[in-house]
Amino acid sequence: MSLYAKWMALPLKVRIYIGVSTMGVAVLGDYVTSRIASEMEARKELDELEKRRITTTTTNEN
């Protein structure tokens, strides 16, 4: 029995549930990875600003 035949043997509601839940997990994963990427970018920018501020402060003190 092929995979397609096994898939088609499942009731329609089960196939719909599997499809919708798979899409839901994909959307959630995309959302989470987008948030992580933007957070990493924001932290990188903050680190660069702090380095510039420390350099400027050190230069002004001398």
Residues whose CB is less than 8 angstroms from the CB of residue 10 and which lie 6 or more positions away in sequence, other chains included: 18
CB-hemisphere CA count at 13 Å for 32? 6
pTM of the model: 0.65
pLDDT tens across 18-39, in order?
999 999 999 999 999 999 999 9
Sketch the domain layout of the chain as residue ranges: 3-61
Residue 62 in this model has a pLDDT that exceeds 60: no
